[in-house]
Structure formats: C-alpha cells, structure tokens
Amino acid sequence: MTTFLPKEVQAGLDAARIVALRKSSRLRVEAGDDSYRVLRLWSDGFTVEADVVPPLRGLVDLYDGANHLYQCLIIAADAEGGEMRYDFKRSTEAHDRAPLDFYRSPDAPIALLGKD
C-alpha cells in the first residue's frame, strides 16, 4: 500500500483542515491595529493561516475572545500545510490589574466601615 497522495488531494485536505481549525478557534493575535485568527496555540508558539496573514514579527498580543491572554515577542519558524508557525521568544501573561509591591493577607479586610 502506498502513502502517496496527489498534490490536488493533499491541497484539498489541507484546506479542509484549516477551515475546521478556523471555525473552532476563538483565539486571535493583534499586531498593531490588525487582528488575525489563531488556528492553534501551544506553550511555545502558535499558527495562523499562511495565505491570509502577512508576515508577523515583534511584539503581538494574544486574545481569547475579549480576554487578553498574553503579550508576546515572536519570530517566524516555518510554513507547512497552509499554516505559518511562530515561536515565542518571550510570552508574558496579561493581568487585569497592576501587580502589588507588598504582601496582602488573604483574610485582610476589603474596606473599612466608618462610625455613624
């Protein structure tokens, strides 16, 4: 049995896989003012559509819907099967508030009530 597929069949399979990934992913990457859908994400990188997304480089932001997940410094790795893979040089988790510069006790009061 042979594992050879004609180029047309392989291209059709790659296109169908990308369409399925595009429909199932809520992730997006923002570079400047532009936003692009992320097909797959793992601990040290992500992929986007090679034909749709221009070459990305530098500092980008990763979002899951409206939630800001990471601010990343990326480099292009390689293109394969209609996907462009990017690797993280640095990936910093985004927070919704500034970090504290002191220890806050878990049982500390939230607010003080005044005397009336």
d(CA 12, CA 18): 10
**Which pLDDT score, from 0 to 100, does residue 88 have?**
94
> Is residue 53 assigned to a domain?
yes
Q: What is the pLDDT of residue 81?
A: 81
Q: Report if residue 59 sits inside a domain.
A: yes
Q: What is the DSSP letter of 113?
A: P
The total number of structural domains in the chain stands at 1
Can you give the residue range of the structural domain that contains 55? 26-93
- Is residue 2 a part of any domain in this protein? no
| pLDDT tens for the 116 residues of the chain, in order | 567 778 887 778 777 777 776 666 788 999 989 999 898 888 899 999 888 889 998 999 999 888 899 999 999 989 888 889 999 999 988 887 777 788 888 888 888 777 76
Establish if 51 belongs to a structural domain: yes
Is 104 among the domain residues? no
CATH number, domain containing residue 52: 2.40.10.430
